[in-house]
Amino acid sequence: MADGSIGLWTVPLAVLGGAIRVSTPFLFVSLGECITERSGRINLGLEGTLVMGAMSAYGISYLTGSPWLGVLAAGITGALLGALHAGICSLPRVNDVAVGIALMLFGTGLAFYLGKPLIEPTAPRLSAIDFGWWSDIPQLRAALRVNVLFLIGVALAPILYWAFRTTRWGLLIRTAGESSDAARAMGHSVLLIRLRATMVGGFLAGIGGSFLSLFYPGSWNEGLSSGQGITAVALVIFARWDPLLCLWASLAFGGAAALGPALQSVGVTSGYHLFNAAPYILTLAIMIITCSPKRTLTGAPAELSITR
Amino acid sequence: MDFGRISRRHLLQGGAALTLGAASGIRPVFAAETTIGFIYVGSRDDYGYNQAHAQGAAALKKIPGLKVVEEEKVPETDAVEKTIESMINLDGASLLFPTSFGYYNPHMIKMANKFPKLRFEHCGGLWSDKDPKNAGSYFGYIDEAQYISGIVAGYTSKSGKVGFVAAKPIPQVLRNINAFALGAKLANPKATTQVIFTGDWSMPVKEAEATNSLIDQGVDVLTCHVDGPKTMVENAARRGAFVCGYHVNQSPLAPKAYLTGAEWNWEALYPKFVKMIAAGESIPNFYRGGLKEEIVKTSPYGESVSAEARKHADEVKAKFLSAEGYAIFKGGLVDNKGKTVIPAGTDRGQKDPELEKMDYLVEGVIGATS
């Protein structure tokens, strides 16, 4: 302890820190996708939205000097990409999964193209709130440096849970997702509901991207996302379209991502590729445990093209 | 363009590409305007490996009569063969630089056999007599610069723990880790070097997590061997640790935390290659060099580097530059499992090919290769 090392405590601390640091993009993308999928549409393009959000947030933060404007720009970019997805899907006989894959490639490609001149400059970052002020262990203080976006995401999960159950628009989204005929019979435009749901989903995914480039790891480069957007979309299915479960699943994924490096740092060096794959093994295991050939996935919106 | 001729000839020859090796030794005859192709595995402005090569390519663009074509983000699969073929057939490239390690075998070898009149120069590969004569591999002994970084890190570290964020346990990476660790031990015999492998060349989130984990373990000076050191440099500086750079000079990213760094000097080497070709000489198939040959260089010292560290590092640098050279990997070297990897009395000089097969971590490194 005298030399400032905390030995094996690094592992739980890193998993805690990782859960806080790494989970935020997963959280925002999965909550956004949760809204979209509850309305009966799947948007696989959120990987592209995440990367576009990261790039536009970094660019706007660099140009204006205000990281919060960057976050806003990321959200707007995401909403526009969402509108594009919803717009194309409104056309007759369009498959939303195929459009999503196209938009995923479009979003990442466009972000790499527009982001070329942004790799070198350093943009102002979002600040962190120091929740570890009471501790004199620097490692713990570092793990507890929390960004406001994480707190917003954590607060958003129960709010969405509540909103889906008790508010009018929550009910509308669910109606559109469970039975478009019922929604139409009530006099609502299903396409308009889905357009709004996809735009809100894109807005949140864009903000998730701004966290990547403006807070952690905290700079723009092309490997930044490395598939986190698509993982988060899968996470929604894994979380049974429940915003609260999305929160826990995101935290678990964040913590699992920190496990590999943390174990190596305390000397558990064998099989680090296996530990690096921990999040994916976790997903597979839970999917296998919870799936059943006798019924469809519980909680799945009936209008979703993958369950219909 | 002689595209039609080459492909027709190939149709006739069918799969007889192997015999083409015998047709080697024919020096490429360049047209008035020579086209040179550069292939990068990542983005060419990544503040790292690919940017270093792109700086070398930029130096060639300034030479009149040369045209440079570039393609970035080409995976280490048969995608690179397609890129090479299109650079040759569509752009008329006669000299190619596939710059990533995994391009060499089998991809570049296959292409060199297929186009025996063109010249292929690979960065990092191990050219041997069995490989085609129109192919070559060049590389820099960047471990010399890492050794200098290690010395500076050893003096600067207060905890005696330095850290290394590495991509994959391949020989070139291990050699850098070992050189850095031996440099740190030269400055402080008790210094340990802790290494974390992220598993791939560009994994920003893993690199940031590895940086944080190392600092949590008490490491206060870090360096890395990944494609883009930006993530490590920025995150370490935010946590108050010092950093040594890699590939290119990253001091603009963290001016206070940046100590020194191991940089490539491709902008000096590539024009040399072109001059050799223009003069009608052939480039040696196996081209290696370090600080003395100006293939690698060290970043200028940062303000936090003590006078003692500067003096020691400069002394060692002078030995590398001297005629007799300097051996980092001396006889009696023990790995971190206690096995003697270099027997006592046989120093392995920098050019020793045994060093390019390195599969161990030296004593004082915390970590494992598998």
Hey, is the C-beta of B193 within 8 angstroms of any chain A C-beta? no
The string of pLDDT tens digits covering residues B289-334 is 999 999 999 999 999 999 999 999 999 999 999 998 899 999 999 9
The string of pLDDT tens digits covering residues A66-110 is 999 999 999 999 999 999 999 999 999 899 999 999 999 999 999
Q: Which two tokens stand for residue A104?
A: 């995923």
Hey, is the C-beta of A293 within 8 angstroms of any chain B C-beta? no
Inter-chain contact A142–B216, Cβ cutoff 8 Å?
yes
Inter-chain contact A223–B197, Cβ cutoff 8 Å?
no
Best probe of the B interface among A11, A226, A264, A280, by most B CBs < 10 A, is A264
Cα distance between residue B165 and residue B213, in whole Å: 10
For all residues of chain B together, what is the average pLDDT? Answer: 88
Q: Which of B42, B205, B217 sits opposite A22 (nearest CB)?
A: B205
Hey, is the C-beta of B231 within 8 angstroms of any chain A C-beta? yes
Give the mean model confidence (pLDDT) for residues B78-90.
95
Inter-chain contact B197–A13, Cβ cutoff 8 Å?
no
Hey, is the C-beta of B368 within 8 angstroms of any chain A C-beta? yes
Closest CA to A302 of A169, A163, A190, A189: A190
pLDDT of residue B1: 41
Inter-chain contact B228–A221, Cβ cutoff 8 Å?
yes
- The 3 state secondary structure assigned to B63-74 is CCCEEEEEECCC
Inter-chain contact A264–B197, Cβ cutoff 8 Å?
yes
Cα distance between residue A127 and residue A114, in whole Å: 25
Answer yes or no: are the C-beta atoms of A220 and A162 closer than 8 Å.
Answer: no
The string of pLDDT tens digits covering residues B32-74 is 578 999 999 888 888 889 999 999 999 999 998 899 999 998 9
The radius of gyration computed from the CA coordinates of chain B, to the nearest angstrom, equals 21
Closest CA to A123 of A35, A188, A60: A60
Residue A295 — very low, low, confident or very high, per pLDDT cuts 50/70/90? low
The string of pLDDT tens digits covering residues B147-193 is 999 999 999 999 999 999 999 999 989 999 999 999 999 999 999 99
Inter-chain contact A222–B46, Cβ cutoff 8 Å?
yes
Closest CA to B314 of B304, B303, B328, B300: B300
Lowest mean pLDDT among B1-10, B282-291, B301-310: B1-10
Whether the predicted pLDDT of B235 surpasses 60: yes
Hey, is the C-beta of A17 within 8 angstroms of any chain B C-beta? yes
Contacts A142 to B, Cβ<8 Å: 212, 215-216, 239
Lowest mean pLDDT among B29-38, B102-111, B193-202, B260-269: B29-38
Shortest Cα–Cα distance, A123 to chain B (Å): 11
Higher-scoring residue by pLDDT: A226, B63: B63
Q: Which of B159, B239, B370 sits opposite A270 (nearest CB)?
A: B370
Tell me which residues of chain B, numbers 238 to 267, contact chain A at a CB-CB cutoff of 8 Å. 238-239, 252-253
> Which residue does chain A place closest to B370, by CA atoms?
A270
Tell me which residues of chain A, numbers 67 to 126, contact chain B at a CB-CB cutoff of 8 Å. 112, 116, 119-120, 122
Cα distance between residue B292 and residue B317, in whole Å: 9
Residue B28 — very low, low, confident or very high, per pLDDT cuts 50/70/90? very low
Inter-chain contact A221–B204, Cβ cutoff 8 Å?
yes
| Percent of chain B residues topping a pLDDT of 70 | 91
The string of pLDDT tens digits covering residues A182-215 is 999 999 999 999 999 999 999 999 999 999 999 9
Shortest Cα–Cα distance, B352 to chain A (Å): 29
Residue B103 — very low, low, confident or very high, per pLDDT cuts 50/70/90? very high
Inter-chain contact A222–B213, Cβ cutoff 8 Å?
no
Best probe of the A interface among B46, B188, B193, B216, by most A CBs < 10 A, is B216
Higher-scoring residue by pLDDT: A9, B185: B185
Q: Mind giving me the DSSP string for chain A?
A: -TTS--GGGHHHHHHHHHHHHHHHHHHHHHHHHHHHHHTT---TTHHHHHHHHHHHHHHHHHHHS-HHHHHHHHHHHHHHHHHHHHHHHHSTT--HHHHHHHHHHHHHHHHHHHHGGGSSS-PPPPPEEETTTT---HHHHHHTEEEHHHHHHHHHHHHHHHHHHHSHHHHHHHHHHH-HHHHHHTT--HHHHHHHHHHHHHHHHHHHHHHHHHTSS-S--TTSSTTHHHHHHHHHHHTTT-HHHHHHHHHHHHHHHHHHHHHHHTT--TTHHHHHTHHHHHHHHHHHHH--TTSPPTT--TT-TTT-
Inter-chain contact A14–B216, Cβ cutoff 8 Å?
yes
Hey, is the C-beta of A265 within 8 angstroms of any chain B C-beta? yes
pLDDT of residue B334: 95
